[in-house]
Structure 1
């Protein structure tokens, strides 16, 4: 079972925290790390140093070969535990799918820019999301400060179904997680 070892103030955002946690890993976890990294879109894996690092919204998360996990810009202890549990599930998935993962074919890295997101928004500047403009919403969405569902017209109006699906596909391919 995952556990939180330490909670510290976040340097980048005083309303958030940095967390050091620990997940349960098997003795051969170091050998499994490339498989875990392969399952995480846009992750960086450093075999020599024994870590996998990736972004989840504005958070930077690093998984170490000893099972320690560090996270920045976490909202609270509850969110930290959710992330630790997700990582444990991902590690278990890597063990289950190890034979299906071809490490010789690394995943394509997809970078999403503010303009990429903006191009899939209604561009109405309706303010229903709480932001003054759609471009401001795009920035906050990429930083993890907004959820894609906060764009009400995108999900309410049928005429935006095509761009909505495009945006969800783009965000999903880049490793963003969301519920719709």
Structure 2
């Protein structure tokens, strides 16, 4: 079961915290690290150092082969627990899918830019999200300061259903998570 080991002040944002947590791992977790990394979009695996690191919004998360997980820019303890539980699910999935994952093939990385996000926004500059422009919203969305649901027209107006689905797919492929 995931647990919090330490909560520290965040260096980058005084309103957030850094967290050291621990997930349950098996004795062969070091061997499983490349498989776990394969299942995490845009992650980097360092065999030499024994860790996987990836970004989730503005957060930087590092999974160590001993089961320790470090996280930056975390809102609170409940968010940290949620992330640790998500990582535990990925680890379980890696064990289930180990024989299906071909580590010899290069892992495709999907990168999302501000312009990629902007292209799938309504471009109305309506300010309903709290930002002056859709471009400003796109920047804050990628930095983890806004949630995609903050763009009200995207979710209320039927005419934006197509671009909404495309944006959600793009963000999901790049490792962003959201609840709709």
TM range (shorter): over 0.9
Match of 1:120 in 2: 120
Aligned residues: 180
Please say which of residues 60-69 and 169-178 is displaced more in the overlay.
Answer: 169-178
Secondary structure of residue in 1 paired with 2:164: helix
TM-superposed CA distance for 1:136, in Å, is 1.0
What CA deviation, in whole Å up to 9, does each residue of 1:17-70 have, x standing for no partner? Answer: 000111110000000000000000000000011000000000000000111100
Match of 2:53 in 1: 53
What CA deviation, in whole Å up to 9, does each residue of 1:59-99 have, x standing for no partner? Answer: 00000011110000000111111111111111011111111
TM-superposed CA distance for 1:156, in Å, is 1.1
Please say which of residues 97-106 and 60-69 is displaced more in the overlay.
Answer: 97-106
Question: Does the alignment pair 1:147 with 2:141?
Answer: no
CA distance in 2, matches of 1:152, 1:104: 43
User: What TM-score comes out, normalization by structure 1 length?
Assistant: 0.97
Report runs of 4+ in structure 1 exceeding 3 Å deviation: none
CA distance in 1, matches of 2:146, 2:56: 13
Q: What is the aligned-residue RMSD (CA, Å)?
A: 0.8
Match of 1:131 in 2: 131
TM-superposed CA distance for 1:106, in Å, is 2.9
User: What TM-score comes out, normalization by structure 2 length?
Assistant: 0.97
Paired residues of 1:127 and 1:133 also in contact (CA < 8 A): yes
For structure 1, list consecutive stretches of 5 or more residues without a partner in the other structure: none
Question: Does the alignment pair 1:75 with 2:70?
Answer: no
